[in-house]
A and B are shown apart, each in its own frame.
Chain A
Amino acid sequence: MNQIASQNAPSPKVVVPHFIFGALTWLMVTILIIFHPEAFTQHYFNAELLAITHLLVLGWITMIIFGALYQLLPVIMEVKLYSETLAKISFLLMAIGTILLSLAFWHFSFGPLMFIAGISIVISVSLFVANALLTAHSSNKNVIERTFIVSSVIWLLFTVLAGLTLAINLSHPFLKVSHVELLKLHAHAGLVGWFVQLIIGVSSKLLPMFMVSHHVNTKKLNFSFYTINIGLPIGIIALYLQYKIGVVFSAIMVVAGIVGYLSFLLASYKKRVKKQLDIGMKQSALSFVFLVIPLFLIFTLLLNIDFLNRLTLPLSVAYGSAIVIGFITSLVMGQTYKTLPFIVWLKVYQGKVGKVILPLPKDLYSEKLAIAQVWLFAIGFGFLLIGISTTNTTLVMVSGILLLLSVAFYNLNILKIVLHKPTNE
């Protein structure tokens, strides 16, 4: 008899702190957007935006992904997590590193504080990567999802090492390439190599499972894997060598890979047994709609269209925001409702069936709050994109208020889930 996935689940003490830290960081970011909207209407290499971006990508998204992966790796690989202790140490180092790094960026201080933060994050990521690779190594499931996850964690390590190199280069310049170009390289390694690949690896297993879609052909995912992993290194090298045609070729390859993945998701959606999508899946679906925006913007930016020249900088910020907030944040918020309630529900009710009233995982959160959260998010993100593109700080501030309300509802639901207690029969 096969071992069932829930027997491999790690302790919620490993997973839940990641969700709490992540949700509070996202809340903090929305407050920063309200009080510092100008961060989004200047050149993207500004102190506030660098601080906000790192809070978002490390403190919010990466943190939640780490926590979710400790729960999901055993589901995807059908083995236990290699080490819970490594996971706890990695969490602490990532939390400390993110706070220090954001402070360093906020004060535009590239001295010892940034170096300590960078080292802390590199060690945290190294521990996470070791844990993920050793877990994958103990699995005999040689499937495309596993390949994507393994590749993504290696790209994560590359990204943080590149980030540390950039931090050193800021205080002791030794690289000949402009810092802005190096920043693009670092950002795309993280956005595409880490986030997009990780999302493809995890979602191509989980979304068909949540929708109960069977017999979906995974050949498109193989195509995505090769186009992304050939296209991205070409783009990184081309950015470093300032070779524009290489960058364009890389963008075409990566976008083709993402389209292949979206096509796989569409096929899964069409074959789904569960016809009605719950609120978590609806926000996830919305995130894939938002993903179309940066796919268009990247070519708009690369083609240097004359009449858009004066918009290059705002559109660059819009491009990054559309990926980080529009796509990834929306997906993470949606998928929180597909993971956290189940993690807590399993912890609370496993072994107690028949002794307590057994609710459904969806009863652990308020659906009304979740629906309000999705609407506020969608409208807030729309305002943010328009505000950035028109360099209108008032619109950006309004978007911050809407996003703050959205994330406040999200946080209330997270609290409701993690504080859930069983009711005796």
Chain B
Amino acid sequence: MNNCVMDTEEMKILEMLKKVIDPELMVNIIDLGLVYGATFDAAGRQIDVALTLTSPGCPMGGIIIEDAQQTLESNYPGFNVNINLVWEPAWSIERLSAKGKAELGFS
């Protein structure tokens, strides 16, 4: 598989993850900038996602991870989906997309 196809697949994954909403902020995890990256390995039937949370104490972390995992598993049956929780670099406001900022009420 060439890089172009992989990029397309990874972009699809990021698009799918827009369905996963942070229940406290009510904004999807892509526009919040919580997803640091995704890799798609068609041959190894493996998907890896690097995800962070707005705060290490975030009580919603379990559900967000479960939701992301479930979303990808249902779209890629037979694939092994790994959601890796990462804390470096720490999430900051700069990671918000323009849409995310608008939904949170930034002028």
List the interface of chain A (C-beta within 8 A of B). Answer: 1-2, 4-7, 9, 75-76, 78, 205, 209-210, 212, 214, 273-276, 342, 345-346, 349-351, 353-354, 358, 360-362
What residues of chain B lie closer than 8 Å to A276, measured between beta carbons?
104-105
Q: CA–CA, A239 to B67, complex, Å?
A: 56
Contact, CB under 8 Å: A275 / B61: no
Contact, CB under 8 Å: B61 / A274: no
Q: Which of A9, A205, A209 has the largest number of chain B CB atoms within 10 A?
A: A209
| Those 3 A-B pairs whose CB atoms lie nearest each other, nearest first | A275-B105, A6-B62, A4-B61
Q: CA–CA, A351 to B21, complex, Å?
A: 16
Contact, CB under 8 Å: B63 / A354: no
Q: CA–CA, A358 to B106, complex, Å?
A: 27
What residues of chain A lie closer than 8 Å to B58, measured between beta carbons?
4-5, 209
Task: Out of A9, A75, A275, A351, name the residue touching B104 (CB < 8 Å).
Answer: A275
Contact, CB under 8 Å: A7 / B62: yes
Q: A4-B85, A214-B92, A275-B106 are in contact. Are A350 and B63 (CB under 8 A)?
A: yes
Q: Does B97 reach chain A (CB closer than 8 Å)?
A: no
Task: Out of B24, B84, B86, name the residue touching A210 (CB < 8 Å).
Answer: B24
Contact, CB under 8 Å: B67 / A1: no
* Contacts across chains A and B counted by CB atoms under 8 Å: 84
Contact, CB under 8 Å: B57 / A346: no
- Chain A to chain B contacts (Cβ below 8 Å), 16 pairs: A1-B84, A1-B86, A4-B53, A4-B65, A4-B85, A5-B59, A6-B60, A78-B57, A209-B54, A209-B57, A210-B24, A273-B93, A349-B63, A350-B62, A358-B67, A360-B23
- Interface hits, B20-59 → A, CB 8 Å: 21, 23-26, 53-59
Q: A275-B105, A354-B74 are in contact. Are A5 and B67 (CB under 8 A)?
A: no
Interface residues on B, range: 20 to 34
Q: Does B70 reach chain A (CB closer than 8 Å)?
A: yes
Q: CA–CA, A75 to B62, complex, Å?
A: 13
Contact, CB under 8 Å: B21 / A5: no
Contact, CB under 8 Å: B70 / A360: no
Known: A78-B57, A354-B70, A360-B26. 17 other contacts (CB 8 A): A4-B61, A4-B62, A5-B58, A6-B61, A6-B62, A209-B58, A212-B25, A273-B104, A275-B104, A275-B105, A275-B106, A342-B60, A345-B63, A346-B62, A351-B66, A353-B66, A353-B70
CB distance from A149 to the nearest CB of B (A): 14
Contact, CB under 8 Å: B70 / A2: no
Contact, CB under 8 Å: B105 / A274: yes
Contact, CB under 8 Å: B57 / A205: yes
Contact, CB under 8 Å: A9 / B59: yes
What residues of chain B lie closer than 8 Å to A361, measured between beta carbons?
23-24
What residues of chain A lie closer than 8 Å to B60, measured between beta carbons?
6, 342, 346
What residues of chain B lie closer than 8 Å to A349, measured between beta carbons?
63
Contact, CB under 8 Å: B54 / A2: no
What residues of chain B lie closer than 8 Å to A210, measured between beta carbons?
24
- Interface hits, B67-96 → A, CB 8 Å: 67, 70-71, 74, 84-87, 92-93, 96
Q: CA–CA, A78 to B58, complex, Å?
A: 10
Contact, CB under 8 Å: B62 / A76: no
Contact, CB under 8 Å: B104 / A350: no
Residue of A nearest to B100 (CB): A273
CB distance from B70 to the nearest CB of A (A): 4
Task: Out of A76, A273, A275, A346, name the residue touching B63 (CB < 8 Å).
Answer: A346
Contact, CB under 8 Å: A75 / B59: yes
CB distance from A49 to the nearest CB of B (A): 38
Contact, CB under 8 Å: A274 / B67: no
Q: Which of B66, B85, B87 has the largest number of chain A CB atoms within 10 A?
A: B66
CB distance from A90 to the nearest CB of B (A): 22
Residue of A nearest to B58 (CB): A5
